Amino acid sequence: MNLSELTHPNQLHGLSIAQLEQVARQIREKHLETIATYGGHLGPGLGVVELTLGLYQTLDLDRDKVLWDVGHQAYPHKLITGRYNTFHTLRQKDGVAGYLKRCESRFDHFGAGHASTSISAGLGMALARDQRGEDFKVAAIIGDGALTGGMALEAINHAGHLPDTNLMVVLNDNEMSISPNVGAISRYLNKMRLSPPMQFLSDNLEEQMKHLPFVGDSWNPEFQRFKESMKRLAVSKVGAVFEELGFTYVGPVDGHNLEELIATFKEAHLIPGPVLVHVVTVKGKGYAIAERDQVGYHAQSPFDLTTGKAKPSKTPKPPAYSKVFGNTLTKLAENNPKIVGITAAMATGTGLDILQNALPKQYIDVGIAEQHAVTLSAGMACEGMRPVVAIYSTFLQRGYDQVVHDVCIQNLPVFFCLDRAGIVGADGPTHQGMYDIAYLRCIPNLTLMAPKDEAELQRMVVTGIQHEAGPIAMRCPRGNGYGAPLMEEGWEPLPIGKGEILRSGDDVLLVAYGSMVYPAMQTAEVLNEHGIQATVINARFVKPLDTDLILPLAQRIGQVVTLEEGCLMGGFGSAVVEALVDHDILVPVLRLGVPDELVDHATADQSKVALELTPAQMAHTILQKFSPKPVAIGVSA
């Protein structure tokens, strides 16, 4: 069968192992070809091709439910559920999403871009099924990395106490340190456990022993300990943990052996209650370069399939914000042993890999556990350390209560660095860093700042390290800086709550925050071409807001525009409006930012066009709002 002919996963039913292996090869070819051309997640999907085909052989996807944790490992799922012909549009505007989306396909049973959610959602579906008296299977696939998330463990704890609720959890374990010998023994013992004699022994041994002469009920305590010892001999060490938590453990099984996968899944479906199937896979399977460098090829920009090297950019780019942050923090940490960088499984993405390589004793990775990362930092701050918590804006949402309860209420000097703040592009709604301004500025004791460029970022890192009066947070956009001159050392901290005037004019006041400062300057240039002179303020801080600078100018100029790369509801513009109202300065205000809608996957530039946040578009909006005679100007990106 050709992969292009697959429009429904049930078409896999009845295919021979040879035919399934042919489909697997085609999935990898299509996957590699697409990512090499357009970019996207590479290693996760390559590692679960056989797992997907084997599991779907044992399910009826017209009835049964499958939940993929995170979703970037579900590219094979997309290719066999009717999206082959549009797969070349992956992560592009109006194309196939990089994660699962319920609105994209009826086979995407649960959308997810954050890790550790699948077991909770799957258990919810299973409980709803049982309450309605229905009968379908629920399978949640979760990676060993996502299993470090507290939410996954909470779900396991709950499911393990529901022995009458059928739920299959598939642990996709792509950790390469598992020994083949140990794996072979475990698989052999697993076959014993699943065989009818072993099931009979497990289910009936105690009852049979009761009927032996001189035994009866009197041997129950000793026998119970004997039975538990026998049980532990029949499962691997990791399996014993899940067994203790109430799951029937199956595995580990070779995640690239279709015959073994299908047989294991069929047997596991027959076991009542919660079942965990431990599947060992190789991240990047089938592409040797990705197998050797599993971190580097987790996701890739367009690259050459033969060499594995990224396609060179046509023009040199300034350094990425994350690299500037990592280098600056490392330089400071070299002279300050109290500085400790903390991340939640995002060392490379946040730039903390630089600190890790240079000063490993001053670096901590807690795994996918943002809540723990935040409270861990609070504990370190109590003991006089200078914890720097580097987490994506979208992921810090998962540690929100800890930010409030453990850091801000106690007014502890923790420095939060929020990477990927603002519009992030192809990852779509689950990863857009839209909400951090709104969800952080309402918390007492917390100082909030954002740099206009990479040089100001260096100064803000120093500001954050030296700020001892309480917690402080800095948001940074995804991608590269503007080419601002960088310093190797000698950075000066910024005065807390003080902005700066970058341009003066008497017609309109533009107050910009962070990544919107440069676009504000460009907008002012467009306005100047139409006879409108603008004052531009780089606010630097949203909390405390520089009211000494902003309010007199707003009152004198009489027309105010705020610019931010974040949600308008409760965001930076709201802070400016609140300050104006609180001081009885009633002037017209135009807030430019992201309205109350989800920003779908596209390039960042495409999203800004759609949101009317390019300089030309913003200038047009300002003229329409404030010009006595509406002026039509070009608004193309």
Residue showing tokens 């109006």: 94
Cα–Cα distance measured from residue 149 to residue 237, given in angstroms and rounded to the nearest whole number = 20
Residue showing tokens 């280098």: 327
Which of 546, 338, 582 has the alpha carbon at shortest distance from 447? Answer: 546
Task: Identify whether 398 is a catalytic site residue.
Answer: yes
Distances (CA, A) of 483 to 336, 480, 517: 28, 8, 14
- Complete DSSP assignment for 618-632: HHHHHHHHH-SS---
First to last CA, the chain: 45
Strand partners, 248: 275
Strand partners, 474: 417, 449
The sign of the CA dihedral 260, 265, 270, 276 is: positive
Token digits of residue 76: 């094979």
SS3 531: coil
- What does the chain come to in residues? 637
Token digits of residue 48: 């679960």
Task: Identify whether 370 is a catalytic site residue.
Answer: yes
Question: Which residues are CB-contacts of 596 (< 8 A; sequence separation ≥ 6)?
Answer: 567, 568, 569
Which of 39, 50, 94 has the alpha carbon at shortest distance from 72? Answer: 39
Q: Which is catalytic among the residues 267, 370, 454, 564?
A: 370
- Complete DSSP assignment for 262-319: HHHHHHHHTS-SEEEEEEE--TTTT-HHHHH-TTTTSEESSB-TTT-PBPPPSS--PP
Question: Which residues are CB-contacts of 221 (< 8 A; sequence separation ≥ 6)?
Answer: none
Beta carbons of 287 and 45 less than 8 angstroms apart: no
Cα–Cα distance measured from residue 435 to residue 366, given in angstroms and rounded to the nearest whole number = 24
Question: Which residues are CB-contacts of 498 (< 8 A; sequence separation ≥ 6)?
Answer: 540, 541, 546, 549
Asked whether the bond before 544 is cis by omega within 30 degrees of 0, the reply is: yes
Task: Identify whether 63 is a catalytic site residue.
Answer: no
H/E run at residue 57: helix 49-57
Cα–Cα distance measured from residue 537 to residue 551, given in angstroms and rounded to the nearest whole number = 12
Q: Which is catalytic among the residues 129, 283, 540, 543?
A: 283
Beta carbons of 141 and 173 less than 8 angstroms apart: no
Q: Which is catalytic among the residues 65, 398, 420, 478?
A: 398
Strand partners, 422: 433
Which residue numbers are catalytic? 283, 370, 398
